[in-house]
Amino acid sequence: MDGIHDLGGKQGFGNVELDASSIEKRHIHGFNERWHAAVFTIMNSLFAHGAAANTDHFRHSVERIDPINYLSDGYYGRWLGGAETMLVEAGLLTQDEVNNRVLSKGHKVAEPIAARPAEQSPTFAPRSAAYHPTAQREPLANPIFAIGDNVVAHSLGGTGHTRLPSYVRGISGQIIAAHGAWVFPDANAHGHGEAPKHLYTVRYQGADLWGPNAEESVVLNIDLFEPYLELAQ
């Protein structure tokens, strides 16, 4: 989906500042704040009990939190927003219960949990008992593209989850590697099964992405799924 989470190539956010004290805290304790550890535990519980069906489902829940909060809540704040969204959509909590909890702690309720709540909660199939160390799967079809092909990413939009960043859409690049078939996040996030699709590494020239002021030596390699691509004309 198009949203504030897709920050690649966006301008005006300034430099990425590193906080030495935060890095030291994480190195010693694993988390900067105690509540970060609590959120981490909550998320592991949601995955264990099925409220978070898979990583793609979780990522899509984070994408849909309020855009202002997305930028201001920090890493684990976004995790918490995603967790609340999945719990409400799974019917384990209600929006009112979350709001009342916030009010009981003396805080204001700024906005609904999800800026783009699902009209209908997705239904996910039971998890397979098979162990998969990676998301690579057996292909369902032969690959359409080959190494050396020049391709263009579709100008896709919409409200569904995707791993296609906006800054490469409509830009021509060259396939430099083929990785076989992998779980397709665009389907997996919405309960449509793993739907394995072929995955390729596409190389883009910096000037094609960032314009004539880009450094001449800059290239960007991005892994993109087959449904995102078509042959360049």
Pair (148, 95) in one structural domain: no
Domain membership of residue 192 (yes or no) is: yes
Domain membership of residue 176 (yes or no) is: yes
Local confidence band at 112 (pLDDT 50, 70, 90 cut-offs): low
Pair (141, 100) in one structural domain: no
Pair (28, 91) in one structural domain: yes
Question: Which pLDDT score, from 0 to 100, does residue 142 have?
Answer: 98
Domain membership of residue 10 (yes or no) is: no
pTM across the whole model: 0.85
Pair (92, 147) in one structural domain: no
Look at residue 168 and tell me whether its pLDDT is greater than 90.
yes
Domain boundary residue, one of 86, 104, 122: 104
Pair (92, 158) in one structural domain: no
Look at residue 122 and tell me whether its pLDDT is greater than 80.
no
Pair (72, 146) in one structural domain: no
Pair (84, 145) in one structural domain: no
CA distance 111 to 125: 31
Most confidently predicted of 24-28, 36-40, 155-159: 36-40
CA distance 195 to 107: 43
Question: Which pLDDT score, from 0 to 100, does residue 187 have?
Answer: 95
Pair (140, 219) in one structural domain: yes
Pair (91, 148) in one structural domain: no
The CATH number assigned to the domain holding 33 equals 1.10.472.20
Domain membership of residue 46 (yes or no) is: yes
Domain membership of residue 221 (yes or no) is: yes
The CATH number assigned to the domain holding 189 equals 2.30.30.50
Look at residue 107 and tell me whether its pLDDT is greater than 90.
no
Instruction: Domain count for the chain, please give it.
Output: 2
Question: Which pLDDT score, from 0 to 100, does residue 62 have?
Answer: 92
Local confidence band at 12 (pLDDT 50, 70, 90 cut-offs): confident
Mean per-residue pLDDT, 42-52: 90
Look at residue 31 and tell me whether its pLDDT is greater than 80.
yes
Look at residue 13 and tell me whether its pLDDT is greater than 80.
no
Domain span at residue 194 reads 136-231
Pair (24, 97) in one structural domain: yes
Mean per-residue pLDDT, 206-225: 92
Domain membership of residue 122 (yes or no) is: no
Question: Which pLDDT score, from 0 to 100, does residue 118 have?
Answer: 67
Domain membership of residue 225 (yes or no) is: yes
